[in-house]
Structure 1
Amino acid sequence: MGGDDSGTIFGIGKGRDQNRGIGGGGSGLGVNAFLWRGALDTIAFMPLASADPFGGVIITDWYTPPGTSGERFKATIYILSRDLRSDGLRVNIFRQTLQNGQWVDEPIAASTVGDIENKVLARARQMREQLQASS
């Protein structure tokens, strides 16, 4: 991950509008606004099941990457802080494969969670820098 596919997960999809205005580091939200928006932008290609900006929890619905069958992913992202810090974010990714007509839980690549966390943090920092530059 990284390079030309930065802002994507599983090598597909792009984040949402790159020029959205962001309020201060936590105004109006129970969590850091940059981490919150960065998380939403990073997983924008996945269907959203629920998002609680005050509790800091984002849950996607199952997502099947285009061109694949029999494999799906789901994400849960927790924003744990009002500060923009790497330990203020926790990502869980779930993967299932279709075997004999049943969805079976499977492990994900060890680097996947870290890659997603890094993309969220990079997007959050980018938005903070854009806001500071325009001030």
Structure 2
Amino acid sequence: MTFKSVAKLTILSMALSALVSCGGLGRGNDANSYGQSGTASDPTNSAVPVQERETTIWDIFRRDNSDVTVKVNKYIWAASLEVLDFLPIESVDPFSGVIVTGYGTPPGGGTSYRATVLVRDPALDARSLHVAMQNRGGRAVSASTVRAVEDAILARARQLRIRDGRF
């Protein structure tokens, strides 16, 4: 055998052993593996056996997203986009509840603002909404202005909920 073929064989065997070792991840027998919750004295935990599933490298290609849930209030989310529609959207992430906007000038205003909105909870509640704003100079906007924007978003969210007929 030549040196090149030995080197190729060594690299191939290392890559293969690394790939095979990925299949052994998460095979622990402890109570917290695979998302099990509760204790042994919990009747729901002992009544339903949890089926262990072997993880492999191919799990990253699965499209099974049954455990992914969006935890934001859809009315607050839509109202935030409507109230701040004069600001250009830079990024949105409904899974974490974050809306980041660029600088924009409100109708009839002379100062440019940007905002970051965080919708923290699925409840239609003031605690579910947090708005941070700054002006073009990078300074934070007054608390009364932020409060007025939050109030406008919550009022619009309530209107959307009433219009939807679920109130």
Shorter-chain TM-score category?
A: 0.5 to 0.7
Paired residue for 2:72? Answer: 31
Q: CA deviation at 1:116?
A: 0.5
Say which SS state the counterpart of residue 94 (structure 1) adopts.
strand
Which of the residues 67, 75, 81 maps onto 1:40?
Answer: 81
- Equivalent-residue separation in structure 2 for 1:68 and 1:89 (angstroms): 24
Paired residue for 1:86? Answer: 126
Which of the residues 89, 100, 116 maps onto 1:76?
Answer: 116
Gaps of 5+ in 1: 1-27, 97-103
Give the count of matched residue pairs: 99
- Quote the sequence identity (%): 35
Contact 2:86/2:105, CA 8 A, preserved across alignment: no
**Is residue 122 of structure 1 aligned with residue 163 of structure 2?**
no
Contact 2:86/2:107, CA 8 A, preserved across alignment: no
Structure holding more helix per residue: 2
Which of the residues 86, 98, 102 maps onto 1:57?
Answer: 98
List per-residue Cα deviations over 1:85-125 (Å, max 9, x = no partner): 110000000112xxxxxxx3334233110000001100110
Paired residue for 1:18? Answer: none
TM-score (norm 1): 0.65
Say which SS state the counterpart of residue 76 (structure 1) adopts.
strand
CA radius of gyration, larger in: 2
* Cα separation, partners in 2 of 1:128 and 1:68, compared to 1, 3 Å: closer
* RMSD, aligned CA: 2.3
- Equivalent-residue separation in structure 2 for 1:66 and 1:40 (angstroms): 15
Structure holding more strand per residue: 1
TM-score (norm 2): 0.53
One-letter code aligned to 2:71: G
- Answer 1 or 2: higher relative contact order, Cα 8 Å, separation at least 6: 1
